[in-house]
Amino acid sequence: MRQRFLNRINFTDIALGIIGTALVGLIVVGSFKTLAEGNYTTRQWLDFVVFGIAQGSIYALIALGYTLVYGILRMINFAHSEVFMAGSFTAYFAAASMAKSGFLETNTFVAVLILFAIAMATSTAIGVLVERVAYRPLRRAPRLVPLITAIGASFVLQYTFKGLYGDQFKAYPEIDTLKGSYTWGDINITKVQVVVILSAAFLMLLLYLYVQFTKTGKAMRAVAEDKDVAALMGIDVDAIIVRTFALGAALAGAAGILYAITFRQVNFFMGFIPGIKAFTAAVLGGIGNIPGAMLGGIFLGLFESIGPILFLDGLNVPAPYQLKDVIAFSMLVLVLLFRPSGILGERLSRTKA
């Protein structure tokens, strides 16, 4: 019995165990010390939570794009972060001109809807274009090949938009109607955060209904299950793949607007970090799984907004907030190591991982 147990564990497992234990130990000790010191009030913690949820719902929207494509093609659409950037960068010009004419203040609702429409349309066009040029010819290629094209596409898009719109940061206009905040007891939530959370929730609900109940949604799920059999059942696989890309890209475009009204800055390079974070979120929730991506996004947002303070402040790390990306990336590594199927994902089969 003991012999069999010893045979089963090997060098890798031991190393992983040590790394895992060390990180968990660090997190526990850090959190304990931070809480014991009590430098932060309940109100501040709740602020972090609200910020985390708002940030997380943006991640979730982007993550859906990764998950939808992964579910069908079993590939990471590396250019998705640029699809996200394209939408909100393009919509900036509409926002700026509407702010100048005052339309943004008088008819905020309509104006924001227009922004959403522009961003979603641009992102969809870019997403479909990328699929057509960079991925479709490579359906049967070795796995490394589409991945490299995706990296290429990502750089082409970044620098094309840099060339088109210039390389400075553009400041999105601030909408006066969305200034201010609501307060219930200790919870303080800004109007922008309300808009972000509500629109994200609405879009996710819409997507869920679309995938569950429409004919295209059913076809998507069939293609995700087995492309060849789906084709035999009379489903036009290529058309479904294009629609999947379009759907994911549209959500990324919407996320772009939410990101822009939250952080009020756009730039050709803005997609990179949210893109990786969203990918992390998708993996966290179980890639290929739609509710998983939503949950993963929220979870990552919370982790990222609370984590640096909770884990690192007690360890006397100066400016812990600078390390939030490190925390997110470490989390990605940990998830892939210890639960590669994510929170909700089914067990990844050998071919997927």
Q: Which residues make up the interface to other proteins (CB under 8 A)?
A: 10-12, 15-16, 19, 75-76, 93, 133-134, 137-138, 140-149, 151-160, 163-166, 272, 276, 279, 283, 317-320, 322-323, 325-326, 329-330, 332-333, 336-337, 340, 350, 353
CA nearest neighbour of 249 among 110, 15, 86: 86
In terms of CB distance, is 35 or 151 closer to other proteins?
A: 151
Backbone angles phi and psi of 170, in degrees to 5 = -110, 135
In the complex, least distance from residue 193 CB atom to other proteins, rounded to whole angstroms: 26
158/262 with CB nearer other proteins: 158
For other proteins, the closer of residues 71 and 320 by Cβ is: 320
CB of 255 to other proteins, least distance (A): 19
Q: Which of 220, 246, 236, 185 is nearest to 43 (CA)?
A: 185
Query: Taking the complex as a whole, how short is the minimal distance between the CB of residue 158 and other proteins, in angstroms?
Result: 7
Judged by beta carbon, residue 155 or residue 210, the one nearer other proteins is: 155
Q: Are 299 and 60 in contact (CB under 8 A)?
A: no
Shortest approach of other proteins to residue 179 CB, angstroms? 27
Report CA-CA distances (Å) from 241 to 89, 143, 205, 271. 26, 18, 21, 23
Taking the complex as a whole, the smallest distance from the CB of residue 153 to other proteins amounts, in Å, to 6
115 versus 203: smaller Cβ distance to other proteins:
115
